[in-house]
């Protein structure tokens, strides 16, 4: 008899937990995603699992998930940092993000691409968060590394790549704008501007166009 009561209680607990999980999933109160790319590194590393909720109010510079159209993969759910909301003036100057005339990259550990002499690259390639992108014919005896700004050693020989011609902004923006020199632009009501922390290796609002607040699926909870 006692064993039967324990089984009944266990069954009730499992049923309650399953019901709560179903409600959270259906309502968007708790969702799970895996980030397959390094577009948000070092903030969110590739292949990380994130927990997302639409029960939490988003704030500027939160990571959010949102629906958008990508020129390569079509409609999908993306994860990027919410860097601008309605009324904000956003601008990127030589790779640095300014929101309402304030350089916010000073408080964010974002990545940029650098040309590094091959002979001196091996030491820094061992650091956490550094991404080796290979060699190109444009840079003889050098390699390209994506390096978090906070991890660049003092006196390290590296040249930041600015306005890489391989990366184009969306057709809705003026043709003279680039991924590293963008704006200034004032966001209208309902518009949002999203960026990946891995600035030279992210398909975000610069390449895909602006998104709307209504596109937001939820806020990333574990970042």
Mean pLDDT of the region 112-141 = 82
Q: In what order do the strands lie in the sheet with 191-195?
A: 31-35, 48-53, 216-220, 63-70, 74-84, 191-195, 211-212
Of residues 82 and 6, the one with the higher pLDDT is 82
Mean pLDDT of the region 76-101 = 96
Which pLDDT belongs to residue 163? 93
Of residues 3 and 87, the one with the higher pLDDT is 87
Q: Are 215 and 66 in contact (CB under 8 A)?
A: yes
Check whether 84 has a pLDDT greater than 70: yes
Summary mean pLDDT of the chain: 84
Of residues 60 and 10, the one with the higher pLDDT is 60
Mean pLDDT of the region 138-143 = 80
Of residues 73 and 37, the one with the higher pLDDT is 37
Phi, psi of 165 (to 5 degrees): -65, -15
Mean pLDDT of the region 90-108 = 96
Which pLDDT belongs to residue 75? 78
Mean pLDDT of the region 202-215 = 95
- Residue 129: count of CB within 10 angstroms of its CB: 17
Phi, psi of 83 (to 5 degrees): -105, -10
Q: What is the phi-psi region of residue 40: left when phi exceeds 0, alpha when psi lies from -120 to 50, beta otherwise?
A: alpha
- DSSP one-letter code for 190: T
Check whether 29 has a pLDDT greater than 80: no
Letter string b/e over residues 152-190, b meaning 16 or more CB atoms within 10 A of that residue's CB: beeeeebeebeeeeebebeeebeeebbbbbbbebebeee
Check whether 23 has a pLDDT greater than 50: no
Check whether 30 has a pLDDT greater than 70: yes
Mean pLDDT of the region 19-47 = 74
Which pLDDT belongs to residue 154? 66
Which pLDDT belongs to residue 1? 54
Of residues 15 and 64, the one with the higher pLDDT is 64
């Amino acid at each position: 008899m006692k064993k039967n009561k324990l089984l009944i209680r266990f069954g009730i607990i499992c049923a309650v937990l399953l019901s709560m999980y179903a409600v959270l999933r259906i309502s968007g109160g708790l969702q799970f995603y895996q980030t397959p790319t390094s577009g948000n590194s070092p903030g969110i590393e590739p292949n990380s699992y994130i927990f997302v909720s639409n029960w939490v109010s988003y704030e500027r510079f939160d990571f959010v998930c949102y629906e958008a159209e990508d020129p390569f993969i079509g409609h999908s759910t993306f994860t990027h940092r919410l860097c601008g909301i309605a009324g904000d003036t956003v601008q990127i100057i030589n790779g640095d993000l300014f929101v309402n005339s304030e350089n916010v990259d000073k408080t964010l550990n974002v990545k940029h691409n650098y040309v590094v002499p091959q002979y001196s690259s091996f030491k820094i390639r061992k650091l956490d968060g550094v991404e080796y992108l290979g060699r190109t014919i444009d840079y003889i005896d050098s390699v390209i590394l994506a390096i978090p700004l906070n991890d660049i050693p003092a006196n390290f020989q590296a040249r930041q790549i600015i306005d890489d011609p391989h990366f184009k902004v969306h057709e809705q923006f003026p043709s003279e704008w680039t991924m590293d020199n963008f704006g200034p632009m004032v966001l209208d009501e309902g518009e949002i501007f999203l960026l990946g922390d891995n600035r030279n290796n992210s398909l975000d609002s610069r390449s895909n166009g602006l998104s709307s607040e209504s596109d937001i699926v939820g806020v990333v909870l574990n970042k």
